[in-house]
């Protein structure tokens, strides 16, 4: 009997994929050809084999994919067909705003919607510094949605579930901020591996493979923690797409390829001087600009 259908990649172990299928539930599936690039969230065409095995025939075209370097430094897609990035930070480990900014640029490139989640709300009073509070307030002022959550008490969980709706959402953020703990709250029927907290307040890398969990009408992807998230080389317009607060004032720049750094008659620098733009974001933008190998300006 030959059955031919579309399934979605839930996770991958070497050459073996776990697929979510309509008619057979979750199945193990081998890849015939080398499907090097298949990622969690991909849709694939699969087929039943004579011995009751199943194999993948092809990867369907993707809407988009979120990529980052693996432990060998090789750029890999970790999630495909992404609608929403859940960007998780916490008060301990301390927020890494540079990384959050890079994820916001990446979200524009996908494109995907964004929800900024500040987890470990229970540690806010104890650990949040005035500078960190000001940095966080900048994101809301720009117009990003910021949600305070506590994976311990369950605060914010209903809001996160509501934000996911029927979307495919990916949890992203430093290791130890509580991504897997949020998954455990969102999907209490699943067994989720949560990192033991170390002396540094940072969880251990216990999430070893990217996994897609069905949630209500949508899907939620948890992936192994990363130390950092690097952007691919971008052009200036692509980089600027991650700084929507510049757009309004950049109309005052003399040059339309203004980098808002050293140019005369720069609307962004003027707004910074007048304190009408968020200053911490601008300072980090300059760092990001300097670290980017501009493919073209
Ligand atoms: N105090 C506090 N600890 C949390 C919270 N969420 C997660 N943790 C702890 O933080 C550590 C890392 O959690 P984990 O979910 O593995 O983080 P991940 O690396 O982002 O997946 C674990 O010890 C969790 O128990 C929270 O809201 N409050
Ligand atoms: Mg994890
Ligand atoms: Zn400018």
pLDDT at 2: 42
- Looking at the CA of 93, name the nearest ligand: 1
The arithmetic mean of pLDDT across residues 27-42, rounded, is 82
CA of 181 to the centre of ligand 2 (A): 7
Give the domain ranges of the chain. Answer: 4-59, 65-222, 236-291
290 pLDDT above the threshold of 70 = yes
Residues with CB under 6 A from ligand 1: 119-120, 122-123, 150-152, 175-181, 194-197, 203, 206-207, 225
CA of 105 to the centre of ligand 1 (A): 26
Q: Which of 47-56, 114-123, 140-149 has the lowest mean pLDDT?
A: 47-56
Instruction: Compute and round to an integer the Cα radius of gyration of the chain.
Output: 21
Q: Which fold has domain 236-291?
A: Ribonucleotide Reductase Protein R1; domain 1 (1.10.40)
Closest by CA to 219, choosing from 87, 40, 29, 65, is 40
CA of 43 to the centre of ligand 3 (A): 42
4 pLDDT above the threshold of 70 = no
Dihedral sign from CA coordinates of 285, 232, 218, 14: negative
Q: Which of 77-81, 207-211, 248-252 has the lowest mean pLDDT?
A: 207-211
Residue nearest to atom 26 of ligand 1 (CA): 120
Residue 194 Cα: closest atom of ligand 1 = 16
220 pLDDT above the threshold of 50 = yes
pLDDT at 12: 86
pTM, rounded to two decimals: 0.91
CA of 211 to the centre of ligand 2 (A): 10
Q: What is the CATH number of domain 65-222?
A: 3.40.50.300
- Looking at the CA of 181, name the nearest ligand: 1
pLDDT at 193: 56
Residue 120 Cα: closest atom of ligand 1 = 27
Residue 151 Cα: closest atom of ligand 1 = 27
pLDDT at 225: 66
Q: Which of 41-45, 46-50, 160-164, 273-277 has the lowest mean pLDDT?
A: 46-50
The arithmetic mean of pLDDT across residues 92-121, rounded, is 97
The arithmetic mean of pLDDT across residues 44-65, rounded, is 89
pLDDT at 256: 92
Contact 9/42 with Cβ under 8 angstroms?
A: yes
CA of 150 to the centre of ligand 1 (A): 9
Dihedrals phi, psi of 164, to nearest 5 degrees: -70, -45
- Looking at the CA of 183, name the nearest ligand: 1
Residue nearest to atom 23 of ligand 1 (CA): 197
Closest by CA to 172, choosing from 216, 115, 218, is 115
pLDDT at 207: 59
pLDDT at 194: 60
92 pLDDT above the threshold of 60 = yes
Residue 173 Cα: closest atom of ligand 1 = 20
Residue 205 Cα: closest atom of ligand 1 = 19
Q: For residue 75, count CB atoms less than 10 angstroms from its CB and return exposed for 0-12, middle for 13-18, buried for 19 or more.
A: exposed
- Looking at the CA of 262, name the nearest ligand: 3
Residue-averaged pLDDT of the chain: 89
> Which homologous superfamily does the CATH classification assign to the domain defined by 4-59?
Nucleic acid-binding proteins (2.40.50.140)
Q: Per residue in 145-196, pLDDT tens? A: 999 999 999 999 999 999 999 999 999 999 899 999 999 999 987 765 565 4
The arithmetic mean of pLDDT across residues 83-107, rounded, is 97
| Helix (H/G/I), strand (E/B), else coil: 233 | coil
Q: Ligand 1 test: best mutation among 176, 186, 200, 206, most atoms within 8 Å of CB?
A: 176
């Amino acid at each position: 009997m030959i059955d031919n259908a579309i399934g979605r990649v839930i996770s991958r172990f070497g050459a073996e994929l776990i697929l979510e299928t309509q008619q057979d539930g979750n199945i193990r599936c081998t890849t015939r050809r080398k499907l090097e690039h298949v990622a969690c969230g991909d849709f694939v065409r699969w087929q039943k084999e004579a011995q009751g095995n199943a194999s993948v025939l092809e990867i369907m075209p993707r809407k988009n994919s979120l990529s980052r370097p693996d432990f060998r430094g090789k750029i890999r897609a970790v999630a495909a067909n992404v609608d929403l990035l859940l960007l998780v930070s916490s008060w301990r480990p301390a927020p890494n705003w540079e990384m959050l900014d890079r994820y916001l640029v990446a979200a524009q490139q996908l494109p995907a919607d964004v929800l900024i989640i500040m987890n470990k709300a229970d540690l806010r009073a104890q650990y949040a510094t005035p500078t960190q509070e000001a940095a966080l307030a900048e994101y809301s002022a720009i117009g990003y949605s910021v949600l305070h959550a506590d994976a311990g008490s369950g605060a914010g969980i209903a809001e996160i579930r509501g934000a996911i709706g029927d979307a495919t959402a990916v949890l992203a953020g430093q290791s130890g901020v509580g991504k897997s703990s949020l998954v455990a709250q969102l999907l209490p029927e699943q067994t989720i591996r949560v990192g033991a907290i170390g002396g540094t307040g940072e969880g251990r890398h216990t999430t070893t493979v990217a996994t897609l969990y069905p949630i209500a009408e949508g899907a939620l992807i948890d992936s192994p923690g990363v130390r950092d998230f690097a952007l691919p080389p971008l052009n200036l317009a692509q980089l600027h797409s991650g700084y929507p607060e510049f757009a309004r004032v950049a109309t005052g720049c003399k040059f339309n390829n203004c980098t808002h750094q050293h140019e005369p008659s720069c609307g962004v620098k003027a707004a910074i001087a007048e304190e009408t733009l968020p200053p911490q974001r601008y300072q980090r933008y300059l760092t990001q600009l300097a670290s980017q190998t501009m493919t073209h300006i």
